Amino acid sequence: MLSRLNDTPCSGDPAEGPHGAGTTHGQAGATPDHGGVGLDAGERQIRERVAAFEELLGDPHEAGNPFGNAALLEADERGELSVEAERALAAFRLNDEFVPRELGGNLDRIDGLARVLRPLFRRDASLGLGYGVTSFLAAIAVWAAGDEAQRGRTADLLRGGGRLAIAYHELAHGNDFVRNEFSARPDGSGGYLLDGRKDVINNAGRAEGLVLFCLTAPPGQRGPRSHSVLLVDTAGLPEDAWRVTDRYRTVGVRGCQVAGFSFERCRVPADALVGRQGGGVETALRSFQITRSVVPGMVLGGADTALRTVVRFATSRELYRRSVLDIPHAQATVASAFTDLLVCDSICLAATRAVHLLPEQTSVYAAAVKYLVPKLLQDACYNLSIVLGANFYVRDGDYGVFQKHVRDLPMVSLGHAGSAACQATIIPQLPRLARRSWTQGTPAPEALFRTGGGLPALDTDRLVLAAEDDALVASLLAAADRLEGPREAGAELAPVRALVRALVAELTRVREECLALGPHDRTAMASPHAYALADRYTLLLAGSACVNVWLAQRQDGGDFLADPRWVVAALTRVCRHLGLPLPEEADEHSEWMLAEVLGRYHEGRSFDLYDTHLAGPLVDDEPAAARH
């Protein structure tokens, strides 16, 4: 069973530039970050691909641009994906991002995949999911468990611009997919007969290939090996044995074509089986670790646009003879939203790189990032909506994209394991991690926290269903030790030290409570208290990611990310989210963070760790006349 993507050695990043991935302020399409000198080839390719993609997407405010706000809002109102935009994505060969490099695609780093897709999600989550990522969610099962022929076929399909749909879930069972009833029974000649329904499936009616999660155990013999994954070519299906069911209209990602299938004694050949019969749950759970890790890092782009839209509004709207952004509440909200984006990106970075560096621990980090990031982003957007005022309710014009991103974001919390299901994955692991790892674990390698640089090949065979160790928590403790030691003794670091101490004290409390969880709390019927513990744990992971990203940048001599003020702001936000009493030294550095937001806004740079150049003209420094 193949399961290795990428053969790039883990470089330890000796040659990586000081600013992480892309601090370019140059033109989209140009080789970023000082010409990319000194970067390893993989990192350079990711940066070039991101820059080329941004150039393709063009100026979001240009009328007639298929990736512009106006066109995307119109397509959303119609409930369609723009044909022109999809054609451009096909010409850009976006699907190559989902295909392993050894099969002709670009996929070898999961952090790179999140970064390349982020510009598209900055424009439109419907296109992000509907054109592309759905195919990746399906294909990953084939990359992880398929044979050479299936891998080759899938690579050819995607590289030829085709689509795959993924059909795991069934309405009757929701997140509890191991109870699914859609069946694949032996047809007597080596193949299978498919029977049943799958509902709420993205691209159901327009995918050339289907990845189906099916019950293959005989009736009455259900167990952990009851299900299998099948890869089916829709063109080869007998027409009278299956049909696509009615489309579902959704609140967000309205352009996505979500429908279902109904099968009745539909014959498929033996070679449809992916991996071994009965291996479906294991393939699904391994695949989910990759997909849950990577998708939050993509959708962060939507929150970037939400923040940018509010900055645009707040700098141009005049009230009380000043701009809205002169109001302290608006300033604090904007600065906090930016800080939350950095917190989210830090945990996204650690989670996507953990898939390569700490695959044995990914099950818990994937669930943590999938749970926490959409939640923080949605909270940030709610706060931003207050600054936008009544314009939050306007569906077109200058600020119409805001409500679209607010509607689109929750899709990430719903689809592909809901938030509660992610917490439910974390909870049973907490007592064991607390006992074994939270006082004496091995910290993560520093490469986990680097915003670029080579990674070991992804080996899906090493993804296990329960983590035995917790390197991110150990890295929080290691950071605390380092900050207390002579190496980081400077008085200017007192606020970081105090905040990390506060997080370590919280870890001690969470640990005690996790150790006290009873057997009942390790099941799906866990108490609300256990869910709250999972929430606090994910915030501690985020805090660890932030302080360690900062330490890595400090070592590398970075610019903004090496400055202690951002990490003080980030850890202060994490402590606030945890509801902790803030140490005296805590500081959101609102003014400084706001200045960074405005600098990036005016110069057209992204609100994430990568600080990349965005397409479109520079924003005029002078506040525009009030529009309303």
Which residues are at the interface with ligand FAD (CB under 6 A)?
134, 166-169, 174-176, 200-202, 250, 253, 256, 258, 411, 414-416, 418, 420-421, 424, 524
Question: Checking DSSP bridges between strand 192-202 and strand 242-248, what pairing results, if any?
Answer: unpaired
* Pairing mode, strands 209-215 and 164-167: parallel
Least distance to ligand FAD, CB of residue 512, Å = 24
Instruction: Please say which residue, 416 or 511, places its beta carbon nearer to ligand FAD.
Output: 416
Least separation in angstroms between residue 454's CB and ligand FAD is: 33
Tell the smallest beta-carbon distance from residue 175 to ligand FAD (Å): 3
Q: Where are the beta strands (DSSP E) in 427-519?
A: 458-459
Q: Which is nearer to ligand FAD, 301 or 428 (CB)?
A: 428
- What's the angle, vertex CA 550, arms to CA 549 and CA 555, rounded to 5? 100
| Nearest to ligand FAD of 347, 421 (CB atom) | 421
Nearest to 610 by CA among 251, 111, 162, 160: 111
Shortest Å distance, C-beta 210 to ligand FAD: 10
Choose between 79 and 418: whose C-beta lies nearer to ligand FAD.
Answer: 418
Least separation, in Å, of the C-beta of 157 and ligand FAD? Answer: 17
Task: Compare residues 471 and 533 and give the one whose CB is closer to ligand FAD.
Answer: 533
Q: How far is the CB of 187 from ligand FAD (least distance, A)?
A: 24
CB atoms under 10 Å from CB of 453, counted, come to 27
CB of 576 to ligand FAD, least distance (A): 25
CB 346 within 8 A of CB 545: yes
| Cβ distance to ligand FAD smaller for residue 156 or 176 | 176
CA neighbor of 570 nearest in space, from 150, 180, 578: 578
CA torsion 391-397-399-405 (nearest 10°) is 110
Residue closer to ligand FAD by CB (options 134, 429) is 134
| Cα–Cα–Cα angle for 475, 480, 481, rounded to 5 degrees | 95
170 or 611: whose CB is closer to ligand FAD? 170
Taking the complex as a whole, the smallest distance from the CB of residue 174 to ligand FAD amounts, in Å, to 2
Work out how close the CB of 418 gets to ligand FAD at its nearest, in angstroms, rounded to a whole number.
Answer: 5
User: Residue 218 is which amino acid?
Assistant: P
- CB nearer to ligand FAD: give 173 or 627: 173
What are φ and ψ of residue 291, in 5° steps? -70, -40
Residue nearest to ligand FAD (CB): 174
N-to-C CA span, the chain: 61
3-state secondary structure of 411: helix
Strand partners, 76: none
CB contact set of 476 (below 8 Å; sequence gap of 6+): 500, 503, 504, 507, 540, 543, 544, 547, 548
Instruction: Determine the Cα–Cα distance for residues 341 and 373; give it in Å rounded to an integer.
Output: 9
Q: Is residue 512 classed exposed, middle or buried when 0-12, 13-18 and 19+ CB atoms within 10 A define those classes?
A: exposed
Supply the minimum distance, in Å, between the C-beta of residue 420 and ligand FAD. 3
537 touches 368 (CB < 8 A): yes
Nearer to ligand FAD, 211 or 447 (CB): 211
Residue with Cβ nearer ligand FAD (315 or 419): 419
Q: State the Cα–Cα distance between residues 110 and 333, nearest whole angstrom.
A: 32
What is 98-163 written as a DSSP string?
GSBGGGTSSBS-HHHHHHHHHHHHHH-HHHIIIIIIHHHHHHHHHHHH--HHHHHHHHHHHHTT--
Greatest alpha-carbon span in the chain: 80
Beta carbon of residue 194, minimum distance to ligand FAD (angstroms, whole number): 15
